[in-house]
Amino acid sequence: MSQEELQQELDAIDAIYPEFLERLSDTQCMLKIPEHEAVRVHLSFPSGYPTEAAPQVLEVDGAGDNKLLREEFEKIMKSVWIGDVCIFDFLTDVTEVFSQWSEEDLYPQTRETSDDSLVNQLENLKLEKMLQELDVTWFQSEPVVDRGSTFIAFTTQVSSEDDARLKLDHLRMDSKVSRCQHVMTAWRIHGPGSVTYQDCDDDGETAAGGRLLHLLTLMDAWDVVVAVARWFTGTHIGPDRFKHINSTARDAVLKGSFVDASKGGKKKK
């Protein structure tokens, strides 16, 4: 791999996980683990990477048994490296493994035991249980795949802004959606009388939320929330991403019958 190619891969990781990457030299870096930022892994890239050799795990720090973690990270690195770039997959799998470990395993010396911490944990458990019990019907677009990025849109009926937020939290609990890099959202809702509500969120994909809201306005879609999930493997696709965000969102809105398809300009072509 040329230095330029390696830097391109690291640039992609830096874009996906801002401030998680520290470049130590042309061939070494330090990475924070998503959702466990206190844990850092020191990686070295041999001259044969990615086609002939995997990145080397030099050191792990910030957790309990660093030796155990290093061995675990080495196993994960071997499993994700298949003769191609693998840092994104490595971080994804490490985060997944960490989610199955207890706090005592990761941070035996720093675990909080205060009353406030316990209250927060109980409140989170109550919210998670409530979300799991929600009966939500999501309409899903056909996936669009382009140069390593996958886009899928979801829509469901909502009656208030709180209802929209709750149902979006429900969607994010899905195992696949929880592993995507961005979930761009927008909603338009009729309130009491002539009151209306609308809002959007880019979720790190600049201007995407506003474009979704503009699409809902053009389609005259009401009482609906739309969410577009993007899974990103490191290859930038430029402005084409907005085309895919809009096309999948439109597909999901139509599948949910949230617009009058008999009106001009709102039929599927």
Confidence of residue 188 (pLDDT cuts 50, 70, 90): very high
Given a cut of 70, is residue 122 above it in pLDDT? no
Bigger pLDDT: 36 vs 243: 243
Average pLDDT in the 91-105 region?
72
Given a cut of 50, is residue 32 above it in pLDDT? yes
**0.75 surpassed by pTM:** no
What DSSP assignment string belongs to 144-170? Answer: EEETTEEEEEEEEE-SSHHHHHHHHHH
Which among 22, 36, 18, 20 is positioned nearest to 206, based on CA atoms?
18
Neighbours of 40 (CB within 10 A): 17
Which residue in the block uniquely carries the two structure tokens 């506003």? 210
Q: What is the pLDDT of residue 266?
A: 47
Q: What is the pLDDT of residue 15?
A: 86
Average pLDDT in the 32-47 region?
88
- Among 7-16, 51-60, 150-159, the range of highest mean pLDDT: 150-159
Which among 208, 158, 167 is positioned nearest to 187, based on CA atoms?
158
Confidence of residue 1 (pLDDT cuts 50, 70, 90): low
Handedness of CA 258, 262, 265, 269 (dihedral sign): positive
The C-alpha R_g of the chain, in whole angstroms, comes to 22
Neighbours of 55 (CB within 10 A): 23
Q: Which domains does the chain have, with CATH numbers?
A: 3-106 (3.10.110.10), 133-255 (3.30.230.30)
Q: Are strands 182-190 and 149-157 parallel, antiparallel or unpaired?
A: unpaired
Q: Quick check: helix, strand or coil at residue 242?
A: helix
Residue 157 CA to residue 200 CA, distance in Å, equals: 16
- Among 60-69, 106-115, 182-191, the range of highest mean pLDDT: 182-191
Please answer whether residues 266 and 235 qualify as being in contact, where contact means their C-beta atoms are separated by less than 8 angstroms: no
Could you read off the pLDDT of 146-172 as tens digits, one per residue? 988 899 999 999 999 999 999 998 888
Q: What is the pLDDT of residue 101?
A: 63
Q: What backbone torsions phi and psi does residue 229 show, to the nearest 5 degrees?
A: -95, 140
Residue 145 CA to residue 256 CA, distance in Å, equals: 22
Q: What is the pLDDT of residue 226?
A: 98
Confidence of residue 199 (pLDDT cuts 50, 70, 90): very high
Q: What is the pLDDT of residue 72?
A: 86
Please answer whether residues 76 and 93 qualify as being in contact, where contact means their C-beta atoms are separated by less than 8 angstroms: yes
Which among 111, 89, 101, 103 is positioned nearest to 31, based on CA atoms?
89
Q: What is the pLDDT of residue 60?
A: 85
Q: What is the pLDDT of residue 66?
A: 66
Q: What is the pLDDT of residue 38?
A: 81
Neighbours of 133 (CB within 10 A): 8
Distances (CA, A) of 222 to 76, 133, 197, 218: 46, 25, 10, 11
**Is 145 buried (19+), middle (13-18) or exposed (0-12) by CB count in 10 A?**
exposed
Residue 122 CA to residue 88 CA, distance in Å, equals: 33
The residue type at 234: G
Q: What is the pLDDT of residue 17?
A: 86
Could you read off the pLDDT of 201-251 as tens digits, one per residue? 999 898 999 999 999 999 999 999 999 999 887 778 989 999 999 999 999
